[in-house]
Amino acid sequence: MDKNNAPWMKLDNAAKIFPSTGTKRDHKVFRFVCELREVVQPQLLQQAAEETLESFPNFKSVMRRGLFWYYLEESDLLPVIEEEQEPLCAALYEKNRPGLLFRVTYFGPRINLEVYHVLADGTGAMWFLEEMVCRYLSLSYPQLQDQWRKDECTPPIFRRQEDSYSAHYGKTREKGNRVERAFRFSGRKLPEHRVRAIGGLMSVGQVKALAKKQQATITVMLTAMLLLAIYQEMPVSHRKRPVVISVPVNLRNYFPSDSSRNFFTLIQIRYDFSQNSPEFSQIAASVSQQFQQQLTKEKLGKHINSLIAMEKNPIARAVPLGLKNLFMRLGGFFASMGETAGLSNVGQVKMPEPFRPYIRLFDVFTATDKLQICMCSFEDAMMVTFSDPFRDPAVQRRFFRMLSSEGIEIEIITDHWEETL
């Protein structure tokens, strides 16, 4: 494709910050995994990936640097399917060698999709993976070819490239809040800027039953358990600082959108153990109240408007990209000082019924400079996966032991080896 005549589009509002705030350890890359019940056939996965790419035009893009902003430019590049060799969530964007902003690899029965966050959020990436898996299984098992309709796996194609932030922009904004410094973990980190993933496979039914017993939703219960596990590993001298969990919110649940680009925002769940009880019931009650207060269409709409207003500021728009990068990097650094960890619940992955027997589980995790927990479920298989840069997985141990002590059976999965907790 002629670079000078290639179609291009602006980065969406959320995507604009990622090129400036990436680090050697946190490349702003996340991974979805689909584990099948048989070993992956790479030549069929290659065909499935290429066919799926035609349904997601934005996934054909490379990122280029303009005078004032980065932008996405359509390319004719194709993904090259290889067995997994790179470290988890390795960098996808190279300034001097633009390439596709996603990677598909395999390892045994696992299909891995890694995505640079500039390209899509978790929902958009999951739509891509769902269609790719449907196509792969249809190629692997001819009897499935008549059992799948594309619209069961993905939304209508004509709205996938929408910038939904701009589409839902209004004038009412939220008041800015001063960033209060939160407790942050420190300690020896893994070598070579690596990130480790430790996941727990458990039964959705068992977790739901425990949440019902605790009179909480699954997300509230697991957020409260994470707060308590962090508290139990905090040095006593640091317990005066609040623990703050950053939680991404899928805005498609509040505003109509079929975009496969970014359309999310972040809320923060805070708990100050120096002023509040470390009893689980009290933590869970506070978490539930904070979710209810923040997850309203009105509040989320004001937050969208505030983000877009900053982007539309004429002074900010006129600043060259080099200076923008500096300011956004500084802003990202100060914002990170107000976060202890992140928690993301992707929710239930739904696949067409005929394909379900061929799939064991789905998983998700992300590159990170801090402690991060992601979760998703498929049928009765729920994966709760931590990623972090630290050598000592102390919080992970406490978290999974809390669940285990409540009768939840957990299979620990990390770096391709497994054991029973």
Question: What is the tens place of the pLDDT at every residue in 268-284?
Answer: 999 999 999 899 999 99
| pLDDT exceeds 50 at position 419 | no
Beta carbons of 68 and 165 less than 8 angstroms apart: no
C-beta atoms surrounding 77 within 10 Å:
14
17 contact partners, CB below 8 Å, separation of at least 6: 328, 332
Task: Quote the radius of gyration of the chain (alpha carbons, Å).
Answer: 21
Tens digit of pLDDT for each residue in 393-405? 999 999 999 999 9
CA distance between the termini of the chain: 52
Q: What is the pLDDT of residue 176?
A: 65
How far apart CA 251 and CA 418 sit, in angstroms, is: 35
pLDDT band for 391, please (50, 70, 90 cuts). very high
- The answer to whether 359 and 351 are in contact (CB under 8 A) is yes
Q: Are 53 and 81 in contact (CB under 8 A)?
A: no
Whether the Cβ atoms of residue 49 and residue 66 lie closer than 8 Å to each other:
no
pLDDT above 90 as % of the chain? 73
Mean pLDDT value of segment 290-302: 94
For 174, other C-beta atoms within 10 Å of its C-beta total 15
What integer pLDDT is reported at residue 2 of this predicted model?
54
Q: What is the pLDDT of residues 45-56, one digit of tens each?
A: 999 999 999 999
Mean pLDDT of 195-199: 95
Instruction: Using the predicted structure, report yes or no on whether residue 304 has a pLDDT greater than 90.
Output: no
The mean pLDDT of 287-315, rounded to a whole number, is 89
Counting beta carbons within 10 angstroms of the beta carbon of residue 399, is it exposed (0 to 12), middle (13 to 18) or buried (19 or more)? Answer: buried
Distance CA 19, CA 348 (A): 30
14, 72, 205, 318, 334 from 327: Cα distances, Å: 15, 22, 47, 13, 11
More confident residue, 182 or 169: 182
Tell me the CB-side half-sphere exposure of residue 139, using CA atoms within 13 A: 19
Residue 158: its pLDDT value, please?
66
What six digits make up the tokens of 393? Answer: 């997985």
Domains assigned to the chain? 3-156 (3.30.559.10), 191-353+364-420 (3.30.559.30)
**Residue 239 pLDDT > 50:** yes
- Which of 97-111, 134-148, 232-246 has the lowest average pLDDT? 134-148
